[in-house]
Chains A and B, each alone.
Chain A
């Protein structure tokens, strides 16, 4: 078995041809666009919250990293009648720690039924954690054409776990 010709030059030529085809000269051939056409917080949706956490815990990070992190919590919502791209937001606030983190989902019309949102969490600097528990609020909100609307909110306690 022998390879004739110079594979490197041939491949280089192939790259040039493909790059030319996808280039500006042939506008009909285009690369898939990663930027999806979203208009977040538009349209409308019916959302009910079925499950909110009752307590949260703030745990010390391991491996000597020293910071604290709010353990992941989730809310369960029921979504129906989506039009446009409304947002469902899970918001966690701990006023004493100046902690305020929103996790959101951008909906599209094909979403229907149960939607679980797991909170992404921020780290908290150890210098701020000077109590064993803090008051917090967890809220589910909807952002759509009619602005921001609270679906459900609850006051919870954050326990510090060393």
Chain B
């Protein structure tokens, strides 16, 4: 061991460190522009980050982070939620309370530990404000890199950032160290949100010019409801990230050969496994979708690839299996399948002592593995191993069967909704308004939007999807010679197949519960929204507009956000609308934009004669920019104005928010 560390090959030298950071940078962001996309996105979502709970089932996760960053899996002294940490989603097993979604809890715990360490020496609040200002400075530097008056612009930028920093520090209040678990969760999902944009940029960069791809990458977060969920630490942003990584891998795979190509092909499986750790349901849906696309549209599997894919999948599945094993003794029984904690008796001091050792509970572990035999160390025998493996396998089969049964129930429920209550489908996808069912479950005003209302780009997405399907290889060859050939599909065809399969599966499993209270932007379906944007840009008319009239789209977008957003805020203040009315007005505006853009797309695709020919493209560009801007305005005004809760992480936004709401 010592010789290894001492040997020259492993010494950490400066060039080696630099090469390592460069490689890491390349893997994470791709290139400089990818990094800028990341910065801009995090800067945007940070501007409406509130250091408080938006939804009470986040309390469970925060309790999980609090416990795990202190070395326990089970809650010891939960500080969030009701009495004894009762909160929606808190689980109970064998006298102990657990969180769920450990795939979120564990990375957030690492951030929480870093924050705790930093707060011993520094003011955490000043660090957060400073980090946000630093992001701004980095963006200024990146954006002005090739500008004509670069140095002047940088000086102005520095002065602005310094003023902003000073102003924020004057207004800032210290952070209560007990809030660190929540902040860590929020920081984790906001970082994931940044990567959503970066991976989207890299996906679009394969088909569009770089600048356009960067704008669209940022747009995936700021012009769709993905950004809405950035600082509400639920699973949706993380699922969206996995979806984009898989889509990127599918798109890149055909052009990458050799070992890297094999690894790239295994990447979606790693995402599926890690996603199961976050949420087994979403992980399961995702797994089925990528498996279908990979097996049907990929190259045929050889033995190496099969071994690599299953190996990568199993390794990535380890955190999931280990967590489940430590919680319930059954590696395939995720916390989501455990009973809800509603105040059941706790195993008092025993739990505290048992889980006091770092690494988690030991009580559940022993109970599961040593069932019915003595657990003394010398009682180890092949028979025992086989017996416990058989026990685990039979439990696994039981859990998987339960999972399949649930899935079947959901799917049947969805088909039932489609046949018997199509109005629910309409309320989920087109127009929300007042939803009796949501109101009955506690939505006391109409704040739950439909898919199209929160993501008006769905209209072109449907058209783009249909167009791409009609012109895709398999369908074309079916038309020409009656043969269907799926194998070795091109990158874009794989992403298309993934988008269609994933979207169908998500609707199949979630529609039976929708429309529902507290979904705001149909949050269950948020992971499909980046793919919807991808499909929209598969429509040749729209792609042509975004590529050749990029500047017009940008100007229309900026005007919509800056002028339109301000006007709309003025309307809200003047009419003193209630929150429900304000959200529904946003919805109607989005619907209007969606209708116009979809109409333009239809006309442009059919090449119908209308209006002045030379203006058609320009009108499309304006409509596209304005539609994207409508969603951004929705994100900003809901973030700054409509839903007041908690203190903003960037204190100057507090002042802005008060101004808007006065």
Contacts and interface: CB of A to CB of B under 8 A. Distances in A.
Interface of A: 1-3, 7-8, 11-12, 14-16, 18-25, 30-35, 61-67, 69, 72, 121-123, 125-127
Contact of A23 (B122, B131, B445): B122
Contacts of B123: 18-24, 31
25 contacts: A1-B152, A8-B137, A8-B138, A19-B130, A22-B122, A22-B126, A22-B174, A23-B126, A24-B120, A31-B123, A31-B169, A32-B172, A34-B173, A61-B584, A62-B581, A62-B585, A64-B584, A64-B587, A65-B446, A65-B584, A66-B446, A66-B580, A67-B445, A69-B578, A123-B578
Contacts of B439: 67, 125, 127
Contacts of A34: 173, 647
Nearest to A69: B578
A1 B126 CA distance: 31
Nearest to A6: B141
A124 B444 CA distance: 8
A32 B173 contact: yes
Contacts of A22: 122-123, 125-126, 169, 174
A33 B127 contact: no
Contacts of B162: 11
A8 B35 CA distance: 15
A69 B174 CA distance: 38
B434 A126 contact: yes
Interface in B510-540: none
Contacts of B119: 23-24
A125 B445 CA distance: 8
Contact of A72 (B125, B161, B446, B576): B576
B434 A32 contact: no
Contacts of B94: none
Contact of A7 (B137, B578, B585): B137
7 smallest CB-CB distances across A and B, nearest first, come from A66-B434, A15-B130, A22-B123, A34-B173, A63-B584, A19-B122, A19-B126
A7 B133 contact: no
B452 to A, nearest CB: 14
B436 interface: yes
Given A7-B154, A63-B584, A31 B120 contact: no
A61 B575 CA distance: 12
A11 B173 contact: no
Interface string B358-382: 0000000000000000000000000
Contacts of B137: 7-8, 11
A67 B158 contact: no
B154 A15 contact: no
B85 interface: no
A32 B578 contact: no
